[in-house]
Structure 1
């Protein structure tokens, strides 16, 4: 048989694409049968024999011998005269098998065959790739930065599969260069046309949970269970852990001596501040732990509305709310309750003044920035030093000094 590029490519496809023999032969037969249908109208009387390892194939056409004067001859039949050109002793009614040469299909058909074969192979690869990564959704995966674009980072794994890491799935402090190794979870796999798009995420709560499984042996072994994870990526996270073994301190085991165990996770997440707390089914206690480092005085819970009023001493309010309101937001997400912070003893000291009373002298957005961290009166601000307020809020030192001057002037008068 003619040794054409189509046949030479059999073993190439098998080696490069790692397709098993049965699948490759099925694809090849399907491609050739489609070509035969186009040329002859049917493939029912054709036998295709393929040896992909050697790069050989044969196509045999079976036809019934009819008389030379049969005027309704079709592709299933052959005249007696033509049959005896193949073998002299053929008779009418017998079946003749004759090999069909690829060149008989025509140059254009051969080119179409090769293109169709390549398309089928790619389709097979994409289907397998889709299934492979569909099974990896939620798992940690490592790939290398191939190209950095404004809205997405293109990654390549060890098998040259392309993975995308969109900007919104990156931690705000992430900065990548070509060749960097990146870890994240496979978040989704979608077919875009016939090609699967594999999406990685570093902002998912599941990524942090999987890092605990990967970095902390007791979690990997099932001795410690991660009950809940909530994050503000790159800023702060809270993780509730539990153990069915009373001899194990789940928080201590996760954090490690002087934070040794959790340090690698914190570094992976761009120095994200991670609070690890003991899980409990006692709602009041769980909320109290979730609001750490603040010390809660008491809690009033409405189970129907999933709402809780948390009472704290004045000096604990800013701790409970946290920088930018992160602490109370995450505590609410972790416990599943809407939390309202209430200063214990709702009466404000005689000499104190609500910050909103200074709206003529202090801009509204500045008042709101202080309120976000639980500072809504003059004394609640003045009791802190400037450096502490700069750290707790998103305000500049100069702005804070101006506010403190205005407040002091008012209280001194």
Structure 2
């Protein structure tokens, strides 16, 4: 097989992989040099001339003419007798350049060349894909659902690139069918072996931040800054925003008239409840805003422990804590402070841990999980509400209530 014919057969890879001709020829040169090293021990005395325009390459071996009895290295030296078979006027000490045809490498070497070429082109493609998506980390991307597995969804983009969305990167309410177009962010890109692994996420706070950039013109233009985003995917999120322009109401601009601007984002996130909050460096005020919709009476900060004691009227406590404790948990994450909720008149209250002789510690912990850490905070709830919010049997909850009531009856 002549060089040109073999290269033409290799060119099918160029068409399949959309690799440019110059890159293909560079890969071919590397592959041929590896083959030459394997057959002759070294490629240092070989010239490979690549003609990308013609899609051809030539291989020339350079050797020095020596006397017949002085040939020590047949790869770099040629006997005078063999040199004169090429041209009859060669003399000892002259250089001989001889073209190497592929047929000289042997059939097995040619098959190995083909396999090596396939491997190098795949490696090249994977490197290009890795660099392309590495530069897109943190950006929104759309791909089509190709396969649904128990712990992940496999997606393909228009170029056939595969990405993975693990279960924990999905919103709990997400439901996908094959062929659905799905938006998420490129969360991470890693090379495992020689293959890029692209992870997409819809649960990341950054996805919500990028949706704000995409859907709200003032955020996209930089007139409004998204300072921080915290989320419980599919349940609730808090977004702190501000603007350097005092004429702009950042919260109003993000939410829009009757929620018109944020509605599309809420729908994209499976009706996730999004609180948009004015950011401020006044931490007392920021904590007050972060606990919205609850109305805070006062805030006491401990900078050393990064804790905040928040006083509220009894009727505001449940709003501050929120369903499942989501509101207070997100407010803490947004502000960076551990928030303790206290009721007005709490000096007359008793902490639940004081009842540890009568109530088991694990039961007290269950009440703490939903923000109930004092006797009055528990007694302010009716039984149905407690049963729906806390992971305890109704009989156990009633037993706790009876113990707490006795404290105040006494």
Fold similarity call, TM over 0.5 = yes
Report how far residue 135 of structure 1 moved. Answer: 1.0
Partner in structure 1 of residue 43 of structure 2: 43
Report how far residue 4 of structure 1 moved. Answer: 7.8
Report how far residue 151 of structure 1 moved. Answer: 0.7
Structure 2 unaligned runs (5+)?
none
Q: CA RMSD in A?
A: 3.4
Q: Is the 8 A contact 1:45 1:63 kept in 2?
A: yes
What SS class does the counterpart of residue 93 from structure 2 fall into? coil
Partner in structure 1 of residue 370 of structure 2: 372
Q: How does 1:207-222 map to 2 (within 5 A)?
A: 207-222=207-222
Structure 1 unaligned runs (5+)?
none
Q: Is the 8 A contact 1:356 1:367 kept in 2?
A: no
Q: Distance in 2 between matches of 1:299 and 1:361?
A: 31
What SS class does the counterpart of residue 346 from structure 2 fall into? coil
Residues 38-47 or 322-331, more deviating: 38-47
Residues 170-179 or 12-21, more deviating: 12-21
Report how far residue 6 of structure 1 moved. Answer: 4.2
Partner in structure 2 of residue 138 of structure 1: 138
Partner in structure 1 of residue 326 of structure 2: 326
Report how far residue 360 of structure 1 moved. Answer: 8.8
TM-score (norm 2): 0.88
Q: Is the 8 A contact 2:152 2:167 kept in 1?
A: yes
What SS class does the counterpart of residue 138 from structure 2 fall into? coil
Q: Is the 8 A contact 1:6 1:114 kept in 2?
A: no
Q: Is the 8 A contact 1:355 1:377 kept in 2?
A: no
Q: How does 1:262-277 map to 2 (within 5 A)?
A: 262-277=262-277
Partner in structure 1 of residue 70 of structure 2: 70
Partner in structure 2 of residue 189 of structure 1: 189
Report how far residue 14 of structure 1 moved. Answer: 3.0
Change in CA separation of 1:356 and 1:71 when aligned onto 2, cut-off 3 Å: closer
State yes or no: 1:290 paired with 2:287: no
What SS class does the counterpart of residue 75 from structure 2 fall into? coil
Q: Distance in 1 between matches of 2:105 and 2:354?
A: 87
Report how far residue 66 of structure 1 moved. Answer: 2.5
Report how far residue 247 of structure 1 moved. Answer: 1.1
Partner in structure 1 of residue 226 of structure 2: 226
What SS class does the counterpart of residue 238 from structure 1 fall into? strand
Change in CA separation of 1:54 and 1:394 when aligned onto 2, cut-off 3 Å: farther
Residues 121-130 or 365-374, more deviating: 365-374
Partner in structure 1 of residue 305 of structure 2: 305
Q: Distance in 2 between matches of 1:372 and 1:129?
A: 46
Q: Distance in 1 between matches of 2:369 and 2:169?
A: 30
TM-score (norm 1): 0.87
Aligned residues: 408
Q: Distance in 2 between matches of 1:82 and 1:383?
A: 104
Report how far residue 13 of structure 1 moved. Answer: 3.0
